């Protein structure tokens, strides 16, 4: 398989479209209005409870900038939020390269947007398994799939996309964006990518350690099996 070899990128990338899907919603009440204060035309794609939280923060103005991922992709969320963001248009928007004509043709063909920033943090797996009497099913239900996939896609494409995983970084990001007319430099995106991969690595390590520590009896006792 022939892989893309990128030879040209932009140092400064203006943040025009962001995707927000967070378990920890702290800081959104200042970060989202701060982003829109820098770029009032920004498009915000969001899911489920995060969409509702941002709509509450923005009030009547939400309709000008905020769009549900399901409306954007044309695919409704499945029951219980099982599948929300695993969609071709989302990952094309995250992985597309600015100076790749084939990628640009794909964007036009699918009416997809290049996504410049993802704001994602994950289901609270470590917090869940730390609770007393937690079941295997409780733990399994808190294994995030879409979140790590979005984080990894954005972090892989740091040449264009910012991957934001920590609410504590929101203020610093806003300061940088204010100084750079709503754009992030390559060094900013690269730094965020390293933090993003550290975040998913710790998350996967916690899951692997937990599952490794289970006995066959632990698993079997949690479920009825078919005959």
CA pair distance 96, 51, nearest whole angstrom: 24
Judged against a pLDDT cut of 80, whether residue 160 lies above it is answered with yes
Give burial (CB, 10 Å; 0-12/13-18/19+) of 3. Answer: exposed
Q: What's the average model confidence in pLDDT over 38-48?
A: 96
Is residue 199 within 8 A of residue 151, CB to CB? The reply is yes
Q: Cα–Cα–Cα angle for 31, 33, 36, nearest 5°?
A: 110
Q: Between these two residues, 84 and 198, which has the higher pLDDT value?
A: 198
CA pair distance 143, 137, nearest whole angstrom: 10
- Looking at residue 195, its pLDDT comes to 97
In eight-state DSSP terms, residue 169 is G
- Looking at residue 3, its pLDDT comes to 72
Judged against a pLDDT cut of 60, whether residue 210 lies above it is answered with yes
Judged against a pLDDT cut of 60, whether residue 227 lies above it is answered with no
Q: What's the average model confidence in pLDDT over 193-200?
A: 96
Residue 187 to residues 80, 163, 193, Cα–Cα distance (Å): 38, 13, 10
Instruction: Kindly report, residue by residue over 95-119, the tens digit of the pLDDT.
Output: 999 999 999 999 999 999 999 999 9
- Looking at residue 56, its pLDDT comes to 97
DSSP lists the bridge partners of residue 22 as 121
Q: For the chain, which domains are there?
A: 13-220 (3.40.50.1380)
Is residue 16 within 8 A of residue 38, CB to CB? The reply is no
Q: Give me the percent of the chain exceeding a pLDDT of 90.
A: 69
- Looking at residue 38, its pLDDT comes to 98
3-class DSSP assignment, residue 84: coil
- For the chain, give the mean pLDDT: 92
Judged against a pLDDT cut of 70, whether residue 141 lies above it is answered with yes
SS3 letters across 112-164: CCCCCEEEEECCCHHHHHCCCCCCHHHHHHCCCCHHHHHHHHHHHCCCCCEEE
Q: What's the average model confidence in pLDDT over 190-208?
A: 95
- Looking at residue 2, its pLDDT comes to 61
Residue 33: CB atoms within 10 A of its CB come to: 15
- Looking at residue 78, its pLDDT comes to 66
215 confidence band (pLDDT: 50, 70, 90): confident
Q: What's the average model confidence in pLDDT over 175-199?
A: 98
């Amino acid at each position: 398989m022939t892989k893309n070899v990128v030879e040209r990128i932009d140092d400064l990338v203006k943040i025009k479209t962001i995707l927000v899907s967070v378990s920890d919603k702290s800081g959104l009440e200042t970060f989202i209005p701060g982003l829109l204060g820098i770029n009032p035309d920004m498009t915000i794609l969001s899911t489920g409870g995060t969409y509702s939280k941002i709509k509450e923060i923005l009030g009547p103005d939400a309709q000008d900038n905020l769009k549900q991922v399901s409306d954007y992709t044309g695919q409704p969320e499945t029951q219980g939020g099982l599948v929300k963001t695993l969609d071709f248009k989302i990952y094309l928007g995250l992985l597309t390269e600015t100076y790749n004509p084939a990628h640009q043709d794909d964007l036009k063909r699918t009416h997809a947007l290049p996504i410049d920033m993802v704001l994602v943090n994950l289901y609270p797996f470590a917090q869940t398994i730390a609770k007393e009497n937690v079941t295997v099913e409780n733990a399994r239900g808190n294994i995030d799939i879409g979140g790590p996939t979005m984080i990894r896609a954005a972090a892989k494409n740091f040449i264009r996309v910012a991957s934001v995983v920590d609410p504590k970084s929101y203020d610093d990001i806003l300061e940088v964006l204010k100084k750079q007319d709503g754009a992030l430099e390559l060094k900013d995106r690269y730094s965020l990518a390293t933090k993003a991969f550290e975040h998913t690595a710790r998350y996967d390590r916690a899951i692997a350690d937990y599952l490794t520590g289970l006995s066959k009896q632990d698993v079997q006792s949690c479920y009825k099996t078919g005959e």
